[in-house]
Structures are given as structure tokens and as C-alpha cells.
Amino acid sequence: MEFSSRLKRTSLIKFTTLALSLISSSSKENLIRLTRLAEKIPQKDSYRVKIEWIRELFQRDHPSLEIARRILRESNLKQREKLIHFLVNQFLEGTNRRKDFASRTGFYPPRAMLISPTMRCNLNCYGCYAGDYSRQGELETEEIHRILNEAEEMGIHLVVVLGGEPFLRKDLFEICKEHPRMIFHVFTHGGFLDEDTVEKIAHLGNVSPAISLEGYEAETDQRRGKGHFQKVMRGMVLLREAKVLFACSLTQTRENTDVLVSDDFIDFLIEKGAILIWYFMCLPVGRNPDIRWMPTPMQRDRLRQSLVRFRATKPILFVDFWNDGRLTHGCMAGGKMYFHINAQGDVEPCVFCHFASDNIKGKSFLEVLDSPFFREISSRQPYLENLLRPCMLIDRPEIGREMASWPGVYFTHPGVETFFTDLSGHIDQYAREYGTIANEVWEGFSQKGQGRVDGLASKPKGDRQIR
């Protein structure tokens, strides 16, 4: 059985390598033929549906084909090798491992893990919950290795590293090196991306930075400090020269929306070498929370509309944390598709939900992920039929308040209770105003019988995880 598994894995790696090499040089017609061959490999129907979805994108000359070619053209050999193994690990072997884990325990593991190995940061950005923390109480290196080993046993191969500033952890590269079957997507302010750091990233191959920006130099330096933007630009040059794939993480505020939804800015990031753009909203969950920085309901919907156009025209990937509920069937938190472990070991439903019922120190993954608290969250998802309103913090704030006060639940960040007390009236008003906009859009989708995802193709069905 073990020999058979190794043989199958080797065959899958060879096929994936061939497929990627064909993508980089083959005609559209040959790639369409390749998808028909690929449909014969997976045993799970949902994956065959996704392959059919990819074929539809190719047939429509969607920019996704150029995105795939950019990934191959702009990555180094080591990173491409790790990417191939990740695709096999996460979507083929990982699926079987997650199913096997579920059959043994009754719990279906999530696909990704978020972890903040430190909350320390050398910047002091307004609206951010990280900052002036000490090392005291941070997860030890050995504990992080134990966490990652248990995650891999469950079939989790994607680790999103947050903070704080992750590169302040001197053991970060050691940790990534010890887990070569995992991909580490590291969210960083970009200020530490010097020659030495980029060389280490390129050598490992399984580390991909996501660099935070607020827009151009004026917007970024306003929030992060004078001169920071130019440091980031230098880091991007080094990453591109080393052929390391990287993403950009954009925080939408009330002040920078015009820039973040402009074609010129997206083209600027593509030119700099970014392969993926994350969009987040500035929420009042950090130090000295100020509701005035939070985007208005109209601005949030403007971002959603902009991504419809971008996804149909730009050769770069997009993830919109709050507006992509139609892709994820609502909220992903609480172990449905991911969870967050903070630097103290508290296991939070989401990186923006600073409350927990368990700490990973001294407990197994199964104990903390299959807890009554996470099960309660999972049982309520999606919180509304309208998947444009997926979030229990800002779309269904009454649920967020209920979960934050659930028996045994405690706050994990100083002052976060302000969000649920002093600011609750503002958040409720926001939810009502955005709800009016989103409900009108959703009704339009329903009237058209629209089975399409904004700017993409028909949404793949049959892939929602069920406990």
C-alpha cells in the first residue's frame, strides 16, 4: 500500500510538472485538451467540476491563463518545485488525508491555518491591533513545530503567517525549512525585505511574502511612516530579481478607496511584480479604535464592483476578504475553512475576532478545533442567505456579540471589548446601511437566476465542507 501511494504521488507530480510546462508555452487549444485529460485523474466530483470551470475560463480568453503563465515565468525553479508539490499535497493527497481524518474522528479539518508567531512590530500604524508587545508568552519554537506537525497530519498544507511583523521572529526561516511540504504565505510590512532576507526566501522556495500597502507613497507613508514606501519598493525589486512570487495586501479605509479601486494602481502593482492582491477593510478592532477610518457601506460595494471589472481584465489574482462570500459560501471562520492561532496560543475563529475559548498550549488540534464553541459558529454558517453579507462582526453584529459572550469565551486583545460595547451602535448602523445595498444587489442576482461569480465563471458546486 505504501509503495502504491508513493508511485501514485510520483505520477501526480510528473503530470502536474508537465501540465505547468505546457501552460507556459502551449496554445489555448492544447491547454483546453489538457483539461479534458486532467478530468480523468481526481476521484472527487467537485474537483472535476473545478477543472471544467478552468476550461471555461480558457475558452473565454479570461486573464487567468496569463496569470498562470506569469506564475511560471516569474518564479524561480525552487519555488516552482515547491508549488507543484503543494498542489499535489493540498488538493489531492491533502483531500484524502482530511477525509481519512474525518472518518476516524468525525471532524473534517479546514484547508488552511493562520498563525501569528509574534504580535511585535516596529511600526505604529493607526487602526492596527499589533504593535508594542514583548516576547513574553509568545509561542516557543518547539510548540510551533508541534502545531505544524499536527496540522500536516490533518491534511493542512497552507499556513498563513501574520503578526505583528513575522520577520521579527529570528526562527521563522528555521520553522519554514523544517516543514518543506507546507507553503508559508507571510504577511509583512515589507521593511525587512533586504538582500539577505530575499536570498533566504528564494532558497527555501516554500515562503511567499504578502506585502502591506495603503496605496502609493502618500497613502502608505501616512499610515506607516515617512520613507516606508520606498523600502517596500526596494524589496519588490529584490523579490522580482530573485524570481520570488509575492502578493500585496491592501487595507481599504475611508481615505484611500479612490486609489485602491483605480486601474492605474492595479497596473502599477502588476508592473512591480505582484501576482496576487488581498483586499481587507480597516475595522475598529485595534489600538484606540476609530470608526472614522472604516470604509462606508457605499465604498465597500464600490470595491466589490471594481473587482468584477479587474477580474475580467487584469492578469493578477484577487482575494476580497469581505466581499467574496459568494466564492466561500459565507463566513470561513471557526474551522470551516480556516482559524487563527495568536502569538499567545489562543485559538480564535478569525484573525479579526479577538476572542477564544481555548489555547493550543498543551492541547491537541482536535480538542481546540472540534470545541463546542467552534461547532456553534459552524452550525450558524452562513449567517444569511445573502452571501454578500458573510461576517458576524459587521454584517450580523448581534451574532458576533453573542459569540464573544459565549460561556467560557474570553477576549484575547486589550481593549477589543470596545468593539462590542462603545462602538456597537455604529456597527449596527453600518450593518443596516450596507445590508440595504447588498440586499438590492443580491435580489438582482436572484432575479437573473445568476449562477456566476463576479468577473469569473460559474461557481464550482459541491465543495462546501460539512461537519
Amino acid 200: pLDDT: 98
**For residue 98, which amino acid is it?**
R
Examine residue 397 and state whether it is found in any structural domain, yes or no: yes
On the question of a cis peptide bond just before residue 164, with omega within 30 degrees of 0, the verdict is yes
What per-residue confidence (pLDDT) applies to 371?
A: 96
Percent of the chain at pLDDT > 70 equals: 87
- Specify the pLDDT at position 461: 37
Residue 244 binned pLDDT confidence (cut-offs 50, 70, 90): very high
Indicate whether 101 belongs to any domain.
Answer: no
Count CB atoms within 10 A of the CB of residue 1. Answer: 5
Separation in Å, CA 234 to CA 74, 222, 245, 358, 396 = 17, 18, 15, 41, 41
- Which residue's entry shows cell 498543551? 362
CB atoms within 10 A of CB 195: 12
Residue 8: which pLDDT band, with cuts at 50, 70 and 90? Answer: low
pLDDT value for 287: 66
CB 282 within 8 A of CB 300: no
272-293 pLDDT, tens digit per residue, is 999 999 999 999 986 678 899 9
- Per-residue confidence band for 339, with pLDDT thresholds at 50, 70 and 90: very high
Does some domain include residue 456?
yes
Residues 121 and 257 both lie in one domain: yes
pLDDT digits (tens, 9 = 90+) for 81-129: 999 888 888 877 778 888 888 999 999 999 999 999 999 998 888 767 6
- Please report whether residue 447 resides in a domain: yes
Query: Are 275 and 376 part of one and the same domain?
Result: yes
Q: How many CB atoms lie within 10 A of CB 372?
A: 11
Q: Are both 188 and 254 inside the same structural domain?
A: yes
Amino acid at 449: G
Does residue 25 form part of some domain?
Answer: yes
- Cα separation, 125 vs 161, whole angstroms: 19
Q: Per-residue pLDDT tens for 45-85?
A: 777 788 888 888 888 888 988 898 899 889 999 999 999 88
Domain presence at residue 168:
yes
**Structural domains counted in the chain:** 2
Q: How far is it, in rounded angstroms, from Cα 132 to Cα 116?
A: 15
Q: Which of 315, 309, 358 is nearest to 335 (CA)?
A: 358
Provide the 3-class DSSP secondary structure of residue 161: strand
Does one domain contain both 298 and 438? yes
Of 61, 93, 125, the last residue of a domain is 93
Which domain, by its residues, includes 398?
109-462
Indicate whether 153 and 89 sit together in one domain: no
pLDDT class for 34, splitting at 50, 70, 90? confident
Residues 6+ apart with CB under 8 A from 55: 32, 35, 36
User: What's the sign of the alpha-carbon dihedral 103, 87, 111, 313?
Assistant: negative
174 neighbors 150 (Cβ within 8 angstroms):
no
Say if residues 250 and 260 touch (Cβ distance below 8 Å).
Answer: yes
The reply to whether 273 and 305 lie within a common domain is yes
Which residues, at least 6 apart from 19, have a Cβ–Cβ distance to it below 8 Å? 34, 38
Please compute the mean of the pLDDT values over residues 160-171 and round it to a whole number.
Answer: 96
Secondary structure percentages of the chain, helix, strand, coil, to 5: 50, 10, 40
Banded pLDDT at 463 (limits 50, 70, 90) = very low
For the beta carbon of residue 242, count every other beta carbon within 10 angstroms. 16
Q: Which CATH number fits the domain that encloses residue 168?
A: 3.20.20.70
